[in-house]
Structure 1
Amino acid sequence: MTRQASIGVIKQLRDLLSQLTPHEYTENLAVLNHSSIGQHVRHTIEFFQCLIKGSLIGIVDYDGRERNLLIETNLPFALNILTDIEHSITTEPDLCRKLKIRANYDGSNFELIESNFMRELVYMIEHSIHHFALIRIGIQEHFKHIQIEPTFGVAYSTIKYKQEILVFEN
């Protein structure tokens, strides 16, 4: 279920991005504090890349991720990476693979926190949805011609809660 949900958020993003022009993808938007859709996509993609790369050595360092500006400036490149990420998640042989997460909050010391691949996929889902909500705001304000799926940028728990309210009210 977690694997499918993570693949689902990647597909949601890919479907939305396929509607954007390269200019729309890279345009700095005032409503996003002058960042672009591409910058939010880059950030989201890089977290997935950190998990996948880190799972090979057993240590994931989200803060030490490579910041690849090509992801935020080249829409076809970003779409290809999303396909690669989906493939990596689909073919991951051990969702319970133990990992350590490197955390550093004071700039000098770091901790290694116990986790596993599936727990980090849960984090990827929530982290992605948070950035999707920001992307949604940018698109709704600046690119009104883009069709946004109603659940894009909405947490699974919120979707479930709203469905329960509708059932209860009817």
Structure 2
Amino acid sequence: MRATIVQAINQNLQNAISLIDGISPEIYTDVSVGPYYSSIGSHLRHALDFFDCIIDGLQENKIDLTARKRDEVISCNPEACKNHIYEIQQQLSSFVGVNTDYLLHVTDNLGQGKVTIMYTLESILAQANTHATHHYAIISYMLQAMKCEVAIEGFGYNPSTPVPKREGI
């Protein structure tokens, strides 16, 4: 796999660590913001679950995005979340230079039951990275509602968003 993909994902995951370092444990676990009343920790855990499914399914070429761990420790404990991010980053770094010229069986539920789709490792990891960015955007709204300011350049924005249109944290 190309190092540039792993570097981009690991940088995006590093933004989550910067976020955790910039907020209190109370903000991390706050569930007061509607309409979903979920915490920042639960959004981070959800994004990491996606990476876990990929890593866990690689060996048998059966990635099931519906088989998420949903580890509540990661949702409630900022240090556990950071440690899990470090583990994922290390695992992703081990993929650099590995042959990824084969298709993976990826199962997901698109709203009408489970379906298996063929992906490359690079394409499913790119999707996981975009998925994490999407949740960072939700987290940005939550932080604004909680009147909590954290400065992380580009946090929650897709890299293709023009810089002059970016506002917020």
TM tier, smaller: 0.7 to 0.9
Give the aligned partner of residue 112 of structure 1.
116
Match of 1:142 among 143, 146, 160: 146
- Which stretch shifts more, 126-135 or 91-100? 91-100
2:107 aligns with 102
Corresponding residue for 1:73? 76
Q: Secondary structure of 1:67's partner?
A: coil
Equivalent in the alignment of 1:152: 155
Helix, strand or coil for the counterpart of 1:17? helix
Report if the CA contact (8 A) 1:71-1:78 is conserved.
yes
The residue aligned with 1:60 is 63
Residues 1:38 and 2:49 are matched in the alignment: no
In structure 2, C-alpha distance between the alignment counterparts of 1:75 and 1:124, rounded to whole Å: 21
Deviation per CA, 1:109-128: give whole Å up to 9, x if none.
Answer: x3321112111111011101
Query: What TM-score, normalized to structure 1?
Result: 0.85
- The one-letter amino acid of 2:38's match is S
Judging changes above 3 Å, is the alpha-carbon distance between structure 1 residues 52 and 97 closer, same or farther for their aligned structure 2 residues?
farther
- In the alignment, structure 1 segments of 5+ residues that lack a partner are 166-170
Q: Distance in 1 between matches of 2:73 and 2:146?
A: 23
Q: Cα RMSD over matched residues?
A: 1.8
- Other-structure match for 1:168: none
**Structure 1 segments of 4+ aligned residues over 4 angstroms from their partners:** none
What whole-Å deviation, never above 9, does each CA across 1:16-43 have from its counterpart, x for those lacking one? 1111221111110324521110110110
Percent identical among aligned pairs is 25
SS class of match (1:113): strand
> Structure 2 length as normaliser, TM-score?
0.86
Measure how far apart 1:79 and its partner are.
Answer: 0.5
Task: Find the residue that maps to 2:106 and give its secondary structure.
Answer: strand
Structure ID, larger Rg = 1
Q: Which has the higher helix share?
A: 1
Per-residue CA deviations over 1:64-123 (Å, capped at 9, x if unaligned) read 21211111011110110000000011111344453111133434xx33211121111110
Aligned length: 159
